[in-house]
A and B are shown apart, each in its own frame.
Chain A
């Protein structure tokens, strides 16, 4: 971050002296960074998406500008129904995801609970599976003739339609996206000033009331950030409903119409516009909700809330809850693991036999996929946290004109279906050549990394914003009144205090970028440049490749899990370092 700010700031000092004053109207380094980010977002997000979306505003018959397509949208009962289905599924997914995430976050941050790091890491793992792989595994476990239902039918003579219609989408989405709530809520809970809680306790509050009135409200920025992400993500998600063959939702309708062979129906583009607008509205609502409330706490450190030791009965209950939730959220991984070691798995609770052959087959052709994935996702996530921190700072700490726009623009990337971004990139960058070669930019691997960067920027941004919201402005003011420059106070005070949030953002971006498919499938122009999710997709397209695809999926999970656990350890160590200066 600091490296990013310094060169423009230095240039400004040199240039501003020589230029007339009106040409350099009080620009600071922060202004220049803001302009640079705005240009980046316009070039990599707005222009490509506009190239595709303009179709929504064209009369299909004449090409003239029109709003008729939107009138058609609201006149069509199928689209109205799809809209409500999408809304219902998103809202229910937030509810179910909260039910999953809240106990995990609370138990691990509030009590002395062995294996907290493990739970925080395991709880994160569902995010890092490509949705289509997750749906395949969930079908095998919970599907109409999956393990659970076959056993239920054998023993009790009934089955449960976990995966039928919208239920299936809600279940898979909640399990897939609850880590957004978990990770943001945990970070918030850790950052709560212990003195707040102690004050409440001194005044006689305890137990649930303490949680409801003091702890949860103070953790609100994290919870809202997570819940808004889940809502929007589910609203826009394509892979899961498609794989469960649920068509009556908005995103699948858009995709089905845009990607059908030869069909140039503007409705797909209209739906894309509506998805973007609705997502921006939901974000705006979440901002409204947060406005006028001060969640910053002055004191940081002391490791957040006081932890307490559980009584044996409570401990048993806590363990039972955690184990049940972990079993549920890890069921796709258990299914995938079985599939990767299984021979044939067909209409049976478990595979017919077990073998290592799938891993051998997978390893022969997948090394490049794995390396590419680490490279692309690494570049994307690094850029994401740099830009995310900068935007969060600009939005929360400066008065720059249009700063909210920067936030909305970056966040709007959430609402752009991957396939739309992919087509937009092809349209925008195909005519531009990579410097010093005559290859078009659209088939350059860097473009894939940039697309991932844009797609995952909102995750990093939300995490960085939540982290910064909890750093009191007073700390910076204190630093500045002691003579620190703006840059120095950002570098020495703000960023270190945000480390946890920034790291959370990095991990979220990295992990989810590693399994992204919808944009990359449009942009991959050579198998040498293909990332892992694409490799899994290739394997999974053949009857004989399912096991090998599952094996590659397991490799993906392991690669990202190592990264996640490493960063958790860094956060914990960081916390210990800080608290060592704290007397207690």
Chain B
């Protein structure tokens, strides 16, 4: 015990000593060890004068951590997928202004601008959202892989689909928002609720989805591409496809305000954007889309290249401002309508699917009308798009009081209770109608 204590004290002293030297660059990241490891090794080989200290936190915990330590900042870099997390930090004034030199990096990936227009954060890799499936699971259940969002809403996938909640995972939020922007507010939500009616589960972490598909806990998952690629590369019997409506978005990196080691932080970001740094992204355990088009020359066979294959991520012109304006509101709506009421929603959608199957060829118009009415109840939205973009209403969900005298109107709990009451009643009524139709 004592020896251990001494060893640990020695280790602490050493790391404290390291902090005083110029070399240490502290990185807060949501990326897994399997991704940061190879990049860290490559960076330290190229820049032996720096020592990268990687701290892994979930995106939301990372944002909280940086907010909490802002008074006496010890972090140099924030490194994560979701642009929204960077937007949150940026709006809190926690990201530094730095100049990054790079060559051969385009302005956009897909339809998405690579870098923050204010120069607070930089894209270093691309990622798109799609559908991942377990081949053994599908075979055992006699299913074909779904490749479009519409497929996932089909009755045969009932109870076989998994997804993470957008409030838990920044990348999932992007998937939700992409469909809302690609299909329109009402159609987008209707589609989400019909897909969610087929959910087996809503996972707490974004990694819970590939994990569930890998183990065969559920058959299909809505995931970010590299989870699909790296699971496949690890040997799991899984595969991945991009649907037509998807957005390619950059994974980002930024320097934290009041960084203890600005030179080191800048050196790290610049290294990520060099051809060598970009090539590390093709490591089988990482599998992110490089943003330097030249790097694709080294890519393995069949690896998607968004700079040549224009169908990937081209359909949706992702509007960052719109997404940011209603960020928390969309998360809250998803949780109220889907995450917390999944059992009710699943039961209602299941009942409607059963009624539809019973009346597929019956020609019973009355039953068809009931089914349509039931779908309309599922699809109904508590608020319209204009309201979602009303800054005063969306403000209820952020509660950022600039001054002590600011008033924010209604409370989030009130609004959520109102929505909850509406969806619970709608789902119950929809199930009742569907059961009635099925009995005809």
Contact = CB atoms under 8 A, between A and B. Distances in A.
A52 to B, nearest CB: 10
B244 interface: no
B168 A260 contact: yes
A481 interface: no
A63 B404 contact: yes
Contacts of B434: none
A437 interface: yes
Contacts, number: 232
B88 interface: yes
B311 interface: no
A53 B200 CA distance: 35
B413 A423 contact: no
A409 interface: no
A267 interface: yes
A347 B140 contact: yes
Interface string B398-431: 1111001011110111101100110010000000
Interface string A249-266: 000100010011111111
B7 interface: yes
Interface residues of A, number: 77
A165 B421 CA distance: 22
Contact of A543 (B59, B202, B236): B236
A443 B74 contact: yes
Interface string B233-270: 11111100000000000000000000000000000000
A263 B34 contact: no
Sorting the interface of chain B by its residue count into under 10, 10 to 19, 20 to 34 or 35 or more gives: 35 or more
Nearest to B342: A247
Contacts of A143: 215, 217
Contacts of B57: 521
Interface stretch (A73-81, A176-184, A274-282): A73-81
A264 B398 contact: yes
B215 A378 contact: no
A522 interface: yes
Interface stretch (B117-125, B182-190, B206-214, B356-364): B206-214
A437 B16 contact: yes
Contacts of A439: 16, 19, 74
B8 A375 contact: yes
Contact of A245 (B203, B238, B407): B203
Contacts of B11: 368, 528
A520 to B, nearest CB: 11
A128 interface: no
A559 to B, nearest CB: 12
11 contacts: A69-B411, A245-B204, A256-B204, A264-B398, A264-B399, A264-B400, A345-B215, A346-B236, A347-B137, A445-B8, A544-B285
Interface of A: 60-63, 68-69, 72-73, 75-78, 136, 139-140, 143-145, 165, 242-243, 245, 247-248, 252, 256, 259-267, 343-348, 365, 368, 371-372, 374-375, 378, 423, 426-427, 430-431, 437, 439-440, 442-445, 521-522, 524-529, 538-546
Counting from the closest, the 4 A-B pairs by CB-CB distance are A347-B216, A72-B413, A543-B231, A544-B234
Interface of B: 1, 4-5, 7-8, 11-12, 15-16, 19, 26, 32-35, 53-61, 63-65, 68-69, 71-72, 74, 82, 84-85, 88, 134, 136-137, 140, 165, 167-168, 170, 200-205, 207-208, 210-211, 214-218, 227, 230-231, 233-238, 285, 327-328, 331-332, 335-336, 339-340, 343, 397-401, 404, 406-409, 411-414, 416-417, 420-421, 424
